[in-house]
Structure 1
């Protein structure tokens, strides 16, 4: 089933011209709901990276989607993790048979088979992932591969508008901090790739293990590796 380009354009226009929701989390949930309605899928979800570089569930349209997101966060593997780490669209016709993520394939619910993930960026830097899933194995159409990134770009617009308006909600502050931290982490990943011959995922996993073993934030490990000053925590804005 092909995604109707006219329906896609109409959906994006409607979301862009709808008065902005003052609560950022609710505004993002509206986008995810629109994605679920438009695309030939059984659910959609959105994840953002936390201070440890782990993708965390923000919103999902169904319980299967929440379970998929939680499993990926726990295992640190899956299409959403790869979309975030490698900053690219990632498609799987059947995650239960996908050799790229063997641990996820063993525990994912059978209600989730096909998954498509698009990185969500802020100022060109990946901070999360927007994803679709289907209950039956399927090969994603080219129209799906072109359409989902358009919604990821819309999410970036909404976040930028919230930050420009100096929204003080917890999620807005988290995303602003994630953007700053990710820039440092990206430099550390690049250093490890050049110095040790690792790929991006291996370098990211190395930083996460170091952070977990030392009970420190991944951005602190990254800054230390690069010989840069350790980032100080930002003072929360007044609500």
Structure 2
């Protein structure tokens, strides 16, 4: 897979840290990696964006950001408020294809969920994935309500004939409650796709050395790691 689109079931659920973990695992395997953020919102000029966070945690990745809008809103709304042109799916696909020609892996990290609008025509990250014919990795929270959000995301992917690689829990709590433990077993059914990893809460605060050393322990072999979904689920259940 030269390109993977990374989306979430919502915002602030660990999508950037998961992207960093996937990048770190690929780098550890000797692969070259690029991270593309089509639209960075809620960040001012000169401040670190998501691609910078990924680079700090994962290591030597190529960073690409197509647009930056200051308001912490959906890309289409943030672009309109800033009086700037929005990002279009074709623009993202062309940038990803150019990066894929020079890298073993390109991670395209969306903003928020799959159907958050990129532009005033209603285009979304799903349209980017269609343009790229790329598989989609879904990042979900552990808490109550995640099954519904995950199932809706999966339904939207199927409606567009997009391949879902699987689900990664973006911030696994240190003391998971009953809902989180049960969700771990139920997420694959809700998604119709395998559970491919669990990244612990606070992982983004680790030092880069610690993060890179532990990333493969959070991800299943399908993402370049050594995490075992069945063993983990049985241990916490």
| TM-score normalised by length of structure 1 | 0.27
| Structure possessing the higher relative contact order (Cα contacts under 8 Å, 6 or more residues apart) | 2
Structure number with the higher strand fraction is: 2
In terms of Rg, which structure is larger? Answer: 1
| TM-score normalised by length of structure 2 | 0.27
